[in-house]
Amino acid sequence: HTITRPRPIPSPLRFSKFFQSNLRILVTGGAGFIGSHLVDKLMENEKNEVIVVDNYFTGSKDNLKKWFGHPRFELIRHDVTETLLVEVDQIYHLACPASPIFYKYNPVKTIKTNVIGTLNMLGLAKRVGARILLTSTSEVYGDPLEHPQKEEYWGNVNPIGVRSCYDEGKRVAETLMFDYHRQHGLEIRIARIFNTYGPRMNIDDGRVVSNFIAQAIRGEPLTVQAPGTQTRSFCYVSDMVDGLIRLMEGDNTGPINIGNPGEFTMTELAETVKELINPAVPIKNVENTPDDPRQRKPNITKAKELLGWEPKITLREGLPFMEEDFRQRLGVPKQHVT
Ligand code: NAD
Ligand code: UDP
Ligand code: UDP
């Protein structure tokens, strides 16, 4: 038998749209690295009102301080694993620690954030009739047996490994998105984000680009985890934000890979950082962590064809912007390189 389900009830905000064309946008995880850049971009449009929800686990109010007091901006300390009642038209759901050292620090909390947090944001989207975008990850491909990775690839993930709170968490989040779409008719968008870098990354968050840049500026050895031949593809944050907004505004549910197809081994990345930032620092090989994917590179044909999007900033162009930001925060001006 079929179950007749009520359609989402339009929120009062929806009715108010007859009188004004402002869009109220919720950004979960908006105090984080990608989230705060996304907020900056959304705030540039005078028709947007932005509400950020964040528990400050890995993010910081500092990232948003230029918007404090702005009439179109609101910041709420809130954990997405708890029910949230707001009236919005769009939801960018980013809340989730992204760096392996942070998501492994409290794996149970990470999976709760991915599963219960996404369920709550979907329940909210359903209640108010909002469109919702999930920032999923290239980690859903695990240690990929297909290279480069297309969206059709189902992945190779260890379900009981130390990374699975994140990988499997995001895979369930994607499943929930599609089930709400099929069962309740929600408008969903899924971005599979590949490694992203840029200003405002947490200096000590353990990710490879932030580690190497901080090490080079501090005059410490660059720590390449064994074997050093593993690859990643690095996307500059402004390109990423542009891709996310295009996905939200377009007609495709995704999943769509958003990333820069330029592929580098970790040894090549260390050599590039050394050359650009501090040729005096040595490169040191150190032990790796379990289940580290050996290769990763997005196939971005879909993003190109469906979103008209491709990255513009190469790694060599992007690294100096990040160096400048890290030097300011570390208090080490360029001329004082040791
Ligand atoms: P980030 O850690 O800087 O930002 C995540 C934000 O979410 C932080 O501000 C954090 O405080 C907040 N948060 C975490 N748990 C929360 C909770 N339970 N309730 C409310 N807020 C919570 O990470 P980022 O690099 O900006 O990543 C943003 C999103 O993009 C994440 O969903 C991540 O999985 C995804 N992603 C990022 C990358 C990357 O390379 N940066 C790659 C793939 C996917
Ligand atoms: N939810 C929320 N805000 C809302 C509506 C729902 O946080 O405005 C949460 C709610 O607490 C629930 C989840 O979203 O746990 C899923 O909601 P849904 O209505 O889909 O499921 P149900 O409440 O029927 O289990
Ligand atoms: N890595 C490294 N040195 C570091 C930190 C990380 O060589 O100081 C390597 C790590 O082993 C992995 C790659 O860099 O192969 C990317 O790691 P990161 O934690 O940045 O992100 P991931 O893509 O694994 O989520």
> Closest Cα to atom 6, ligand 2: which residue?
123
233 three-class SS: strand
Q: Which of 103, 141, 166, 197 is catalytic?
A: 166
> Closest Cα to atom 3, ligand 2: which residue?
124
Q: With a 6 A CB cut-off, is 56 part of the ligand 1 pocket?
A: yes
Task: Give burial (CB, 10 Å; 0-12/13-18/19+) of 336.
Answer: exposed
Ligand nearest to the CA of 117: 1
Q: With a 6 A CB cut-off, is 174 part of the ligand 1 pocket?
A: no
The residues facing 190 across adjacent strands are 134
pLDDT along the chain (338 residues), means of 10: 52 52 94 98 97 97 97 98 98 96 95 98 98 98 95 97 97 98 98 98 94 97 97 98 98 98 97 98 95 94 98 98 97 75
Q: Are the beta carbons of 33 and 46 closer than 8 angstroms?
A: no
pLDDT at 11: 54
Annotated active-site residue 56? The verdict is no
Interface TM-score (ipTM) > 0.95: yes
Q: Looking at ligand 3, which atom is closest to the CA of residue 138?
A: 23
pLDDT at 334: 87
Measured in Å, residue 39 CA sits from the centre of ligand 1 at 14
Distance set, CA 290 to CA 111, 195, 302 (Å): 18, 18, 31
> Closest Cα to atom 5, ligand 3: which residue?
208
| pTM, 2 dp | 0.94
Q: Are the beta carbons of 26 and 143 closer than 8 angstroms?
A: no
Distance CA 304, CA 301 (A): 5
